[in-house]
Amino acid sequence: MVQKKESELPTLPVAVDKIISVASDEKTTTQELLTVISYDQGMTTKLLKLANSIYYAQKIKVETIKRAITIIGFEEIIGIALGMGILSSFTEKTGLSLDMKALWIHGIGVATAAKELAKRTDPGLANKIFIPALLHDMGKVIFSVYFKEEYTRARQFAIEKKKPLYFAENALFKIDHAVLSALMMKRWHFPQSIILPCRFHHHPESSPIKFKHHALIINLADYLTQKAGIGYSGNPFPVAIKDSPQKIGISPSILKLTLDLLKRKEDEINDFFNITTGA
């Protein structure tokens, strides 16, 4: 069923294609990223607003995109630009079975939590985890846009069976949103460093070893964001992998601190959402 819809998937805006190329090349410089972003005036404006938002809490006004890249971070800028571009490809759609606003806020929350968990366990991963954490639920967008009625049934099935949404997706579609995210990203030529953590965020133990820690962090960040009530992913029964805090090296006290941080940051996360989706 899903394969039949593949030809209907939208092509991404040219600017987003260029950003994916930038994300795939580890040798990309700040200047090259700056040049790509500057092609899209709307994106440039939003990123400048974001750099000056309460989310990044700068005392001195950020006036150039180069400075914004420094403030927000190279990897985060790429992730936010990708998210905005992909989201805009679906904004024309109506009658969706999932609230895209709530889903995007959830993604920002997961990215925020994942970055915090990574700082505690693998500081070198803290910036790189932002993109897959932000985009981990993209498959739900495809389900919601192209399988509106069926996806409503899947969500109802999850509620009735008291199971997580990915369980219901597999039962009805024979594929879940994590696998669908990976298929979509592969089609759009995303790098493996984004595809694989998204692909395995519900089954980190099955992930290739190089990305297992990434997938575990996103799994736990996803769970914490749902527990904190930040946005809504459409999942009625959030679950985390058994012993996931221990597996990534997080103590119960750090877990509670991360949950509290998310709750405190809710206004900042909403501000982030309003800037990145506003006109």
CATH code of the domain in which 60 resides: 1.10.3210.10
- Tens of pLDDT along 240-270? 888 999 999 999 999 999 999 999 999 999 9
Using the predicted structure, report yes or no on whether residue 3 has a pLDDT greater than 70: no
Q: Is the pLDDT assigned to residue 62 strictly greater than 80?
A: yes
Whether the predicted pLDDT of 89 surpasses 90: no
Q: What is the per-residue pLDDT for 49?
A: 95
pLDDT averaged over the chain?
89
| Residue 28 DSSP symbol | -
CA atoms lying within 13 Å on the CB side of residue 18: 12
What is the pTM for the complete model shown?
Answer: 0.91
Q: For residue range 223-236, list pLDDT tens digits in order.
A: 999 999 999 999 99
Q: Domain range spanning residue 235?
A: 3-277
Answer whether 15's CB lies under 8 Å from 85's CB: yes
Q: For 145-157, what is each residue's pLDDT tens digit?
A: 888 899 999 999 9
pLDDT over 70 (residue 182): yes
User: Given pLDDT bands bounded at 50, 70 and 90, which one contains residue 9?
Assistant: low
Nearest to 214 by CA among 228, 200, 232, 227: 200
Domain count for the chain: 1
Does residue 74 contact residue 127 with C-beta atoms inside 8 Å? yes
Contact 72, 51 (CB under 8 A): yes
Q: Which amino acid is at 78?
A: I
Q: Please name the residue that has the structure tokens 């989310």.
A: 55
Structure tokens given for 50: 């974001």
pLDDT of 2: 60
Q: At what angle do helices 138-146 and 177-187 cross, to 10 degrees?
A: 90
pLDDT band at 1 (very low <50, low <70, confident <90, very high): low
Contact 177/233 with Cβ under 8 angstroms?
no
Q: What is the CA radius of gyration of the chain?
A: 18
pLDDT for 194-241, tens place per residue?
999 999 999 999 999 999 999 999 999 999 999 999 999 999 998 888
Q: What are phi and psi of 156, to 5 degrees?
A: -65, -40
Using CA atoms, how far apart are residues 185 and 135, in angstroms rounded to an integer?
A: 10
Compute the average pLDDT of residues 77-92: 78
Greatest C-alpha distance within the chain: 52
